[in-house]
Structure 1
Amino acid sequence: MKVAVVGTGVIGASWATLFLAHGHDVVATDPAPGAEERLVAAVGDRVAFTDDPAAAVADADFVQENGPERLEVKHELLAVLDAATRPEVVIASSSSMLRPTDLARGAPRHPERVLVGHPFNPPHLVPLVEVVPGEGTSTGAVDAAMAFYRSVGRTPLLLRAELPGHLANRLQAALWREAYSLVARGVATVADVDTAITEGPGLRWAALGPITGQHLSGGAGGLAHVLEHLGPGTEALWDDLGTVTMTPELADRLVTQVHDAVGDADASDLLARRDAVITAALDARRFR
């Protein structure tokens, strides 16, 4: 199977790594100067490269688009991909915020095969892929995307509605909102916030997720017991959550404190540590 990777930044290079690892032929394209050299350095020389997106997708069986997160740029790119790709081939966008219905307007010939296939960084390690169809996306395109992502070891999650940020990013945004508010109010530092998650609920969430994990906290009564006894208190916490504005002062505070938190650690070392923890967590969950 030939997979086209359109855009080879951090996400695109990781997708290429995944597809190559599963035995697919990968052809990549990116107009940025030095893109081919950076991609080969990241994934090796098994990947074919062209600076012509139409040529990259001409013989592709699946297209993973990773262009800049700007609708007008996506439309220009999708128009090229739509014209050059066989009609039955799915064009999946890695977009983290844009609605597939809006994206599909950039593919006037076959908008029915455009959808969002949103990964989590790094896609070659993190299994989740949010599959989001648009108003005109065909059932066949959805089924093909779900099957393809499963075939490369991902966990595709089909969303039931189009929302900005899809599902997981909205959940993250809720946590970030309160985290940034706590830092802004001087209640906690960036290091405190990170520690509170990595040494606490983050460990449980990695195993079972936030709601099933809460169910276990209720003992024999499960979630019903938790909601009965802690529901009112949880509502009171919701009412007390902060509302925060990303002022320049707050941005400076966050940046300064995250640099304080990581200290002299090299970025590549932090990435290696992150990836090792992800891999270990996935290995530990294989009983599922």
Structure 2
Amino acid sequence: MSPAIKPTVGFVGLGSQGGPMARRIVEAGFPLVLWARRPQALEPYADTAAQAALDLDDLGARCDIVAICVVDDAGVRQVFDAVLPAMRGGTRIVIHSTIHPDTCVALAAEAAAVGVAVVDAPVSGGGPGAAAGTLTVMVGGEAADVAAVRPIFETFSGLIAHLGGVGAGQLAKLVNNAQMAANMAIADSGLGAAAALGLDRAAYVELVKASSGRSFGFEVRARLPDVALFGHGARLLEKDVGLLSAVLKDNPATAFLRDTAQPFLERIAHLQAGAQVQGDKS
């Protein structure tokens, strides 16, 4: 393939984060082929040059790079199994989902047997970051494969960190998210202590944001009038803390993160469950 010819990219997973990522790719001039379970999910791309695949087999056959941005291991496996048989040797599959690192390693071995490479590249920054082109991409894979897909990542990222072989991106994402959850738990305790001491909340928040106690986790927690409002984010973080614990098992390196984060995340789940019960009664 001539370097001047941009690779055709397939994208599966047009959710709140994947959707803006796909739009950034096509708006950067890359040929883009989309597939979605619901036809309505393709409607926002009617004003772009993106094309729709008939099915996942069709998408795999048409693309040089297939990006997967679905929710979990089972979803990634389902898409992978459908696209791989149709893909040509020398093509690549990119996994943007946050899943178990061992799943990425297993999929990479299966793909390599037919000449297809796998790069794992979970992202951080959410839908707003994707739309702004400022996502952080945590990458695992062979250097040549990472170099080949980097121009795609550059359309929606502010930072691309290549951390090692396949699975390394997932490992980094899990540690990062466990750290985020632990920081939020510590921030929640700090705000509680400040309230118990009678400090003005708004003034205290501004103080910490400019002082040594600051963190992104603190800023997220401080923006929430009620911690129960973090329900969706807490579920995602709880999944990642669980995956990290499964990878490291009883390794002391993860014990503090897990033991700090889990009670906080479980409390949010309990508050949400209570709110749901109250809603059902009303």
Q: Aligning the two structures, in what range does the TM-score lie when normalised by the shorter sequence?
A: 0.5 to 0.7
Q: Structure 1 unaligned runs (5+)?
A: 204-237, 258-288
Which of 141, 155, 161 is residue 159 of structure 2 equivalent to? 155
Counterpart residue number, 1:217: none
Task: Letter of the 2:47 partner, please give it.
Answer: G
Give, in angstroms, the shift of residue 113 of structure 1: 0.3
The 1:172–1:248 alpha-carbon spacing in structure 2 relative to 1, beyond 3 Å, is: closer
The 1:104–1:246 alpha-carbon spacing in structure 2 relative to 1, beyond 3 Å, is: farther
Give, in angstroms, the shift of residue 40 of structure 1: 2.1
Contact kept, 8 Å, 1:78 with 1:106, in 2: the verdict is no
The 1:195–1:96 alpha-carbon spacing in structure 2 relative to 1, beyond 3 Å, is: farther
The 1:198–1:17 alpha-carbon spacing in structure 2 relative to 1, beyond 3 Å, is: farther
Give, in angstroms, the shift of residue 147 of structure 1: 4.4
RMSD of the alignment, in Å? 4.0
Instruction: Deviation per CA, 1:120-173: give whole Å up to 9, x if none.
Output: 32334224211112xxxx443222123443466653210136458432552342
- Secondary structure in 1 aligned to 2:121? strand
Give, in angstroms, the shift of residue 196 of structure 1: 6.3
- Secondary structure in 2 aligned to 1:37? helix
Structure 2 distance, partners of 1:256, 1:42, is 39
Which of 39, 44, 48 is residue 47 of structure 2 equivalent to? 44
Counterpart residue number, 1:132: 140
Pair 1:89 & 2:91 matched: yes
Counterpart residue number, 2:238: none
Instruction: Deviation per CA, 1:53-77: give whole Å up to 9, x if none.
Output: 111121212211123312x442232
Contact kept, 8 Å, 2:60 with 2:84, in 1: the verdict is no
Pair 1:63 & 2:69 matched: no
Structure 2 distance, partners of 1:253, 1:187, is 20
Which of 263, 269, 272 is residue 245 of structure 1 equivalent to? 263
The 1:169–1:27 alpha-carbon spacing in structure 2 relative to 1, beyond 3 Å, is: same
The 1:64–1:243 alpha-carbon spacing in structure 2 relative to 1, beyond 3 Å, is: closer
Contact kept, 8 Å, 1:184 with 1:250, in 2: the verdict is no
Contact kept, 8 Å, 2:13 with 2:70, in 1: the verdict is yes
Structure 2 distance, partners of 1:169, 1:197, is 30
Contact kept, 8 Å, 1:149 with 1:156, in 2: the verdict is yes
- Secondary structure in 2 aligned to 1:166? helix
The 1:10–1:111 alpha-carbon spacing in structure 2 relative to 1, beyond 3 Å, is: farther
Structure 2 distance, partners of 1:80, 1:172, is 30
Task: Letter of the 1:80 partner, please give it.
Answer: A
Contact kept, 8 Å, 1:183 with 1:254, in 2: the verdict is no
Q: Structure 2 unaligned runs (5+)?
A: 1-5, 196-200, 217-255, 276-282
Which of 16, 19, 24 is residue 18 of structure 1 equivalent to? 24
* TM-score, with length taken from structure 1: 0.59
* TM-score, with length taken from structure 2: 0.60
Identity between Structure 1 and Structure 2 (%): 14
Structure 2 distance, partners of 1:153, 1:160, is 19
Contact kept, 8 Å, 2:138 with 2:169, in 1: the verdict is no
Structure 2 distance, partners of 1:7, 1:106, is 22
Give, in angstroms, the shift of residue 23 of structure 1: 0.9
Task: Letter of the 1:81 partner, please give it.
Answer: V
Instruction: Deviation per CA, 1:25-82: give whole Å up to 9, x if none.
Output: 2110122xxx332332367353212350111121212211123312x44223212222
Contact kept, 8 Å, 1:26 with 1:48, in 2: the verdict is yes
The 1:195–1:176 alpha-carbon spacing in structure 2 relative to 1, beyond 3 Å, is: farther
Structure 1 distance, partners of 2:207, 2:24, is 28
Instruction: Deviation per CA, 1:87-135: give whole Å up to 9, x if none.
Output: 11111000223322133255364375012122232334224211112xx
Structure 2 distance, partners of 1:106, 1:142, is 18
